[in-house]
Amino acid sequence: MRLNIPYTDLRELEEIAKVLKTGFFTQGPKVAEFEGLVAQLVGSRYAFATSSCTTALHLALVALGIGPGDEVLVADFTFPATANVVVQLGAVPVLVDIRLDTFTIDPDDLRARITPRSRAIIPVHAFGCSADMEPILEIARQHHLAVLEDAACAIGTTYHGRYCGSMGTLGAFSFHPRKVITTGEGGMITTDDETLAERIRLLRSHGGVRSGYWYEYEAAGFNYRLSDILGAMGVAQMEKLPRLIERKRLLAAGLKQRLAGIAGLSLPVEPAWGGHIYQSFVVMVDEGIDRDRMVADLRALDIETTLGTYALHDQPFFQRTYGYSSGQLPHSHAAFRRSLTLPLYPQMEEHDLDFLVEGIKKVLY
């Protein structure tokens, strides 16, 4: 049993075939169509497809003018890319602890870590669950900070009815194969800010502006474009998004029902603000249970599992470079040591859920 299997069918092939017939393979009309669909869903004025979520995050920070001497407050429990892009700009990632119920940034710890050098906040919408955005946005307003939503796992996630990627200054999405929809590799930036949109548009493609038959290069930009082949795949995937989210929520409910009452596990919660899409189904094992041994034992039963994600302050680079020590952010540290991601993908059936739960019982007891 795989951890995740992307859902594709003939629609992706149909859309890709249209691009192949044109001979126009780089960023083009299918990317623009994909961008329009994401902007319409999220409710943002602008959307810009990029080669990955990492390049989306990097480009968004560049557009904000983040650079050496700046501090960016980053949720500690996340894939390293969220903080790596800050480091690559010469700025300092200030790591912030999480709340264990939602695995998202703790507004109280966030408030305590702001300094005069703070410039931006990157809350992470973890595993398809939105961060608690109201207090985060209030803190940002009080301290005049930009908010870059890391919505890598959160296409279609809502917070009190508002879509992730529409609440902060900018949002960044991923279309990696482990996400609810995928283009293989790919990302997207969303924003309502016209000035930032113009900057992103310029920098995404080498910093060039067309003048007659060629370009004038007004900035040292990047090649962060998405190909039209992948854009075509994104168009087909966006058609499926509502059904895929509905299916994942249904499967998550069935898995919760089967796991309820099993000693040693804490199940994911539906937060007070709703909108969880269960991009990943992440449980916590109790203290004293060897999570890593569970992963090995489950794989021996042909069930692929993995950790939730990483506590950045526990990683050698951030300890060596910024002086963090293991356990300094206790909730993130606990999640790193004890979180377990279980298989959950739309093609699963009732018997797959039964097989998964029986496997968990075997390795626990």
Q: What domains does the chain contain, in order, with CATH numbers?
A: 10-235 (3.40.640.10), 241-364 (3.90.1150.10)
> How much is the pLDDT for 10?
98
Task: Answer for the pair 230, 186: CB distance below 8 angstroms, yes or no.
Answer: yes
**Whole-structure pTM over 0.85, yes or no?**
yes
Q: Which residue has the tokens 């307003």?
A: 141
Strand segments (E) across 153-218 = 158-159, 162-163, 170-174, 187-191, 208-211, 214-217
Task: Answer for the pair 194, 208: CB distance below 8 angstroms, yes or no.
Answer: no
Residue 216: phi, psi to the nearest 5? Answer: -110, 135
Rounded to whole angstroms, the Cα distance separating 149 from 147 reads 6
Rounded to whole angstroms, the Cα distance separating 324 from 61 reads 23
> How much is the pLDDT for 24?
87
Rounded to whole angstroms, the Cα distance separating 153 from 364 reads 29
Q: Which residue has the tokens 């940002």?
A: 140
> How much is the pLDDT for 16?
97
Rounded to whole angstroms, the Cα distance separating 75 from 85 reads 13
Non-local (6+) Cβ contacts of 182 within 8 A are 6, 175, 176, 233, 237
> How much is the pLDDT for 307?
98
> How much is the pLDDT for 115?
98
Reduced DSSP (H G I as helix, E B as strand, rest coil) percent helix, strand, coil of the chain, to 5: 40, 20, 40
Residue 303: phi, psi to the nearest 5? Answer: -120, 115
Rounded to whole angstroms, the Cα distance separating 263 from 254 reads 18
Task: Answer for the pair 196, 63: CB distance below 8 angstroms, yes or no.
Answer: yes
The ranges of the chain with pLDDT < 70 are: none
Task: Provide the annotated active-site residues.
Answer: 179
Pairing of strands 146-150, 170-174: parallel
